[in-house]
Amino acid sequence: MIIFLRAIVIVLAFSASTAMAENITIVAASSIKFAMTDIVSKFNAENRNDAVTAMYGSSGKFTTQIQNGAPFDMLFAADVNFPQMLKKEGLTSSDPVVYAIGRLVIWSSTTDATKLTLQKLSNTNIRKVSIANTDVAPYGMRSKEAQKSVGMWEKVQSKLVFGENIEHATQMVRTGAADAGIIALSLARNPEMAKQGGYSLIDSSLHASLAQAFVITKRAKSSALARRFAAYVQTPESRNTIEKYGFVLPENIRSGK
Strand ranges in 23-141 using DSSP code E only, listed in sequence order: 23-29, 51-57, 74-77, 97-102, 104-108, 129-132
Question: pLDDT over 70 for what percent of the chain?
Answer: 90
CB count, 10 Å around CB of 68?
7
Instruction: Give the model confidence (pLDDT) of 167-207 as tens digits.
Output: 999 999 999 999 999 999 999 998 889 899 999 999 999 99
Domains, the chain, with CATH or none: 2-101+209-254 (3.40.190.10), 104-201 (3.40.190.10)
Instruction: Give the model confidence (pLDDT) of 221-238 as tens digits.
Output: 999 999 999 999 999 999
Confidence check: pLDDT of 14 > 50: no
Mean pLDDT estimate for the chain: 90
Angle among Cα 87, 90, 91 to the nearest 5 degrees reads 75
Predicted confidence at residue 20, as pLDDT, reads: 58
Task: Select the highest-mean-pLDDT range: 17-21, 136-140, 198-202.
Answer: 198-202
Question: What is the C-alpha to C-alpha distance for residues 120 and 76, in angstroms, rounded to an integer?
Answer: 33
143 touches 134 (CB < 8 A): yes
44 touches 53 (CB < 8 A): no
111 touches 200 (CB < 8 A): no
Identity of residue 177:
A
96 touches 223 (CB < 8 A): no
Angle among Cα 157, 118, 80 to the nearest 5 degrees reads 85
Question: What is the C-alpha to C-alpha distance for residues 136 and 166, in angstroms, rounded to an integer?
Answer: 10
Mean pLDDT of 138-160: 96
Closest alpha carbon to 201 in 105, 111, 116, 125: 105
Confidence check: pLDDT of 19 > 50: no
Question: What is the C-alpha to C-alpha distance for residues 138 and 32, in angstroms, rounded to an integer?
Answer: 12
25 touches 72 (CB < 8 A): yes
Mean pLDDT of 147-175: 95
Instruction: Give the model confidence (pLDDT) of 47-56 as tens digits.
Output: 999 999 999 9
